[in-house]
Amino acid sequence: MTDTRTMDLDQVRAAEKRAHWNAVRFAWMSLVAFWIIASLSIATEFDRMNVDHPPLVGWVTEGSSILMTALFAPVMMALGVRYPMEPGRWLNSLPWHVAGYIAYVAIHVGGMVMLRKLAWVVAYDGTYTFIHTSAFQEILYEARKDLGTYIGYQVIIAVALALEHSRLETLMAREEARRSHRLTLKCGGRTLRIAADEFLTAKAAGNYVEVRLAGGEHLARMTLADLQKQLGEAGVDAVRVHRSWLVNRDHVREITPTGEGDVAITLDTGETIPGSRRYRSELEAAA
């Protein structure tokens, strides 16, 4: 017999791994775009001010910084997965992120300077000078910029995790519907599990769906498409009859044309809902 808890935990870990690498790939693509834009901008400014400069110097200086950030990006994202800054956990997570930020500054600045010194020796036959005022001021300047990067990456991984968790919740709700023939509805802070055969109709309401059941009505945060898939997994013959309406065909009593191909659908409860010509063939095909 399959251990459901183990299976669910494996799915969560797989979702977090996808979120991690999706966020890393997004960061890498953003860094490449920034490298190109920043390097071209530096070259333009030098030409505009008639400043004599080594060839491709902007590409080298910006590239050294971006390369070190790209190398550390997977670590920053991994910290966001392992120690999320969310209510109830942020206080325990904060020391890890402080340590991660300090490590990022040290690796970024140290590696960037080392690469630039190497480039100056190999390509420009000279010595690269990083400290122009004082070491403290230079490092503080870089650390301020790095703080923005670190926070930005934590936002990116938080969004990636939210998307993957939402996707996983949808898949697990379908699996639950298939196993137990019950719907999983997120209603505010509650999660309701309701017998699927109680379903009558559903109406789209912005980012929510008004789910009407034999025992009452609930406002759930989902789409009609997701609800229809859940109902299908639970064995309910739910059909889309309108852009904003879904109905349990087993409760349809009468379908009356209203003109121009549209219909009025009357349920065995006496309720009447609209049906559009766009979905009429789908309704009739399900009959």
Domains along the chain with CATH numbers: 4-170 (no CATH), 182-286 (2.40.50.1020)
pLDDT at 1 over 60: no
Lowest-confidence region among 4-8, 67-71, 125-129, 199-203: 4-8
Phi, psi of 87 (to 5 degrees): -55, 135
pLDDT at 286 over 90: no
pLDDT at 2 over 50: no
Between 70 and 166, residue with greater pLDDT: 70
> Is 189 exposed, middle or buried, given 0-12, 13-18 or 19+ CB atoms closer than 10 A?
exposed
Average pLDDT, the chain: 90
Q: What is the mean pLDDT of residues 176-181?
A: 90
For residues 80 and 24, the answer to whether their CB atoms sit within 8 Å is no
Closest by CA to 165, choosing from 2, 14, 6, is 14
Phi, psi of 262 (to 5 degrees): -80, 165
Q: What is the mean pLDDT of residues 196-223?
A: 92
Q: How many helices (H) and strands (E) does the chain have?
A: 6, 10
Q: How confident is the model at residue 285 (pLDDT cuts 50, 70, 90)?
A: low
CA 224 – CA 22 distance, rounded (Å)? 27
pTM: 0.76
Q: Angle at Cα 104 formed by Cα 103 and Cα 105, nearest 5°?
A: 95
Q: Angle at Cα 12 formed by Cα 10 and Cα 13, nearest 5°?
A: 65
227-267 per-position pLDDT tens digit: 999 999 999 999 999 999 999 999 999 988 887 788 999 99
| pLDDT more than 70, % of the chain | 97
CA 62 – CA 245 distance, rounded (Å)? 53
Residue type, 22: N
User: For residue 129, what are the CA distances in angstroms to 61, 121, 135, 138?
Assistant: 12, 12, 11, 11
For residues 239 and 282, the answer to whether their CB atoms sit within 8 Å is yes
| pLDDT more than 90, % of the chain | 61
For residues 65 and 112, the answer to whether their CB atoms sit within 8 Å is yes
User: For residue 249, what are the CA distances in angstroms to 26, 83, 252, 256?
Assistant: 44, 47, 5, 15
